[in-house]
């Protein structure tokens, strides 16, 4: 800027003050980043021990009683206050002044009905149950954030709520947490999920739609059974099911805008057992996915219409079940633009801008979306990939394995995202 002798002195002074403030703020931010990362690294052994204990003792959705008890015992040791239960096994801790602004962090606790095939010292002790999606790490990292935030509680410019949530894997635990009041007065929420495609020490995300709305369906197509040598005396549900499956495949390819992402997959067909008998009924089932919640609702409606219509055209009847009681439909995850930029900024500060990557839309579901239907939210990924130790397999694989170096990094990112949010929004709190 060109300044002449007539430029008002007070404006020059103001500009100089602002420049100095920005320099000091930048210096403070980097100092803060170094400090919280260093504090987190000092807790690595503590974090690893917690994660391994949870991993060895996995619990399925709404059965996370031991995991919940472990969380509460660690919070007691840290002197962090909490309320329990939410959604049967959930825990909500609170750190800070108790005043606004209030920001929430969430971790899920449940494991999968999966047999672990990774042979290591801390393999699951329970046959057929495994932490195959990283929720043991999510819970551990949020406990790590609790420890870091508790150490800095007097410096927090508001309140952080820590949500330890059950039943993400198909149980819609988030919706139950919300009904039980877990969000409190939170005005924003952040969630973090491990990512096997990016290296440990990196994070990734995108604004807008990031994860799909998801539901499941099952249909029973009923005809009339009989001997295969006399098909004219039967009403064949296998033929009806075949036509139905082919018709369902046209819903996405011929009824959905090609620019809108939707998936319909029939994943099983169950019919008769004899080679010479036409069964009386056939069951089919599968999953529906859409990057918008509205798109999922439309797909559900059309699936029911097509199955019933195709069955009727071949003299069968159909009973369609969207499995809402067992597997409640999940809305789509939609990341708030401002919160996304906040995570990018904080992540760049802690990890370096080269380790903040652009994420990808995925047609998997995540019940974090229920929180985003209530308040602005941001779901981002944290890398766990490490070829040297075999951390290369996708979640829901029996060979899933993660790099435990992520634990202090994730704890620091969680804590910093919350603390910096409070600092940035404290001036607007009422």
List beta partners, residue 330: 214
419 labeled part of a ligand binding site: no
Label the pairing between strands 203-205 and 377-385.
Answer: antiparallel
Q: Are residues 47 and 169 in the same domain?
A: yes
The pLDDT of residue 23: 43
Q: Are residues 242 and 228 in the same domain?
A: yes
Q: Which of 204, 210, 209, 205 is nearest to 383 (CA)?
A: 204
Round the CA-based radius of gyration of the chain to a whole number and report it.
26
Inside any domain, residue 9: no
316 labeled part of a ligand binding site: no
SS (H, E, C) 333-398: EEECHHHHHHHHHHHHHHHCHHHEEECCCECCCCCHHHHHCCCCEEEEEEEEEEHHHCECCCCCCC
**Backbone torsions φ then ψ of 90, nearest 5 degrees:** -70, 155
Inside any domain, residue 188: yes
pLDDT digits (tens, 9 = 90+) for 215-226: 999 999 999 999
Q: Are residues 70 and 94 in the same domain?
A: yes
List beta partners, residue 216: 287
Q: Which of 187, 68, 94, 84 is nearest to 146 (CA)?
A: 94
The pLDDT of residue 428: 61
Q: Are residues 231 and 248 in the same domain?
A: yes
The pLDDT of residue 2: 40
Q: Are residues 271 and 195 in the same domain?
A: no
Q: Of 299, 321, 343, which residue is a domain's last?
A: 321
Mean pLDDT taken over the chain: 94
| Burial environment of residue 1 by CB neighbours within 10 A (0 to 12, 13 to 18, 19 or more) | exposed
- What is the C-alpha to C-alpha distance for residues 352 and 372, in angstroms, rounded to an integer? 28
Inside any domain, residue 15: no
Inside any domain, residue 190: yes
**Tokens 């006399």 sit on residue:** 230
169 labeled part of a ligand binding site: yes
Can you give the residue range of the structural domain that contains 302?
A: 213-321
| Prediction pTM value | 0.91
Q: What is the DSSP string of 302-342?
A: HHHHHHHHHHHHTT-EEEEE--TTTSPPBPPEEE-HHHHHH
Label the pairing between strands 102-108 and 188-199.
Answer: parallel
The pLDDT of residue 28: 55
Q: Are residues 161 and 39 in the same domain?
A: yes
Q: Are residues 198 and 86 in the same domain?
A: yes
Q: Are residues 373 and 401 in the same domain?
A: yes
Q: Are residues 171 and 240 in the same domain?
A: no
Inside any domain, residue 17: no
Q: Are residues 171 and 246 in the same domain?
A: no
Give me the residues of the chain with pLDDT under 50, please.
1-7, 14, 16-25
133 labeled part of a ligand binding site: yes
Q: How many CA atoms lie within 13 A of 344 on its CB side?
A: 13
Inside any domain, residue 317: yes
Inside any domain, residue 2: no
**Tokens 């917690």 sit on residue:** 50
Q: Of 273, 295, 321, which residue is a domain's last?
A: 321
- What is the C-alpha to C-alpha distance for residues 317 and 303, in angstroms, rounded to an integer? 15
Q: Are residues 263 and 386 in the same domain?
A: no
- What is the C-alpha to C-alpha distance for residues 223 and 316, in angstroms, rounded to an integer? 5
- CATH number of domain containing 273: 3.30.70.360
Residues 6 or more apart whose Cβ sits within 8 Å of residue 29: 349
Q: Of 321, 355, 387, which residue is a domain's last?
A: 321
Give the total number of structural domains in the chain. Answer: 2
Give the H or E element holding residue 299.
Answer: helix 293-313
Q: Are residues 161 and 99 in the same domain?
A: yes
Residues 47 and 430: beta-carbon distance below 8 Å: no
In degrees, rounded to 5, the angle at the alpha carbon of residue 405 between the alpha carbons of residues 404 and 407 is 70
Inside any domain, residue 16: no
Residues 376 and 101: beta-carbon distance below 8 Å: no
pLDDT digits (tens, 9 = 90+) for 261-297: 999 999 999 999 999 999 999 999 999 999 999 999 9
- CATH number of domain containing 148: 3.40.630.10
The pLDDT of residue 429: 56
């Amino acid at each position: 800027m060109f300044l002449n002798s007539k430029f008002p002195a007070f404006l020059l002074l103001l500009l100089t003050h602002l420049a100095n403030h920005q320099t000091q703020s930048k210096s403070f931010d980097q100092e803060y980043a170094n400090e919280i990362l260093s504090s987190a690294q000092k807790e690595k052994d503590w974090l690893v021990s917690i994660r391994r204990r949870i991993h060895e003792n996995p619990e399925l959705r709404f059965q996370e009683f031991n995991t919940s008890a472990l969380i509460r015992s660690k919070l007691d040791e840290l002197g962090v206050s909490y309320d329990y239960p939410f959604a049967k096994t959930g825990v909500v801790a609170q750190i800070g002044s108790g005043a606004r602004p209030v920001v929430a962090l969430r971790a899920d606790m449940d494991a999968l009905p999966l047999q672990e095939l990774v042979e290591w010292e801390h393999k699951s002790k329970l046959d057929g149950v495994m932490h195959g999606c990283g929720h043991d790490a999510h819970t551990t990292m949020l406990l790590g954030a609790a420890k870091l935030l508790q150490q800095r509680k007097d410096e927090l410019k508001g309140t952080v709520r820590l949500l330890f949530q059950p039943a993400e894997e198909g149980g819609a635990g988030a919706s139950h947490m919300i009904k039980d009041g877990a969000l409190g007065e939170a005005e924003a929420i952040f969630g973090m999920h491990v990512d096997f495609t990016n290296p440990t020490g990196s994070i990734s995300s995108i604004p807008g739609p990031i994860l799909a709305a998801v539901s499941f369906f099952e249909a029973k197509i009923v005809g009339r059974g009989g001997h295969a040598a006399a098909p004219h005396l039967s009403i064949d549900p296998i033929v009806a099911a075949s036509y139905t499956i082919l018709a369902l495949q046209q819903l996405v390819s011929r009824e959905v805008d090609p620019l809108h992402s939707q998936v319909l997959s029939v994943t099983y067909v169950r019919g008769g057992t004899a080679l010479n008998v036409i069964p009386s009924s056939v069951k089919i089932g599968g999953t529906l996915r859409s990057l918008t919640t509205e798109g999922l609702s439309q797909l559900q409606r059309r699936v029911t219409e097509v199955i019933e219509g195709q069955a009727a055209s071949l003299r069968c009847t159909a009973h369609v079940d969207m499995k809402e009681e067992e597997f409640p439909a999940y809305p789509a995850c939609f990341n708030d633009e401002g919160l996304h930029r906040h995570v990018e900024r904080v992540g760049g500060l802690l990890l370096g801008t080269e380790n903040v990557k652009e994420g990808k839309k995925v047609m998997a579901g995540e019940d974090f979306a229920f929180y985003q239907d209530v308040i602005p939210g941001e779901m981002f990924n944290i890398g766990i990939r490490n070829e040297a130790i075999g951390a290369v397999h996708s979640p829901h694989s029996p060979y899933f394995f993660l790099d435990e170096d992520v634990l202090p990094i994730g704890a620091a990112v969680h804590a910093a995202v919350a603390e910096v949010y409070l600092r940035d929004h404290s001036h607007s709190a009422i």
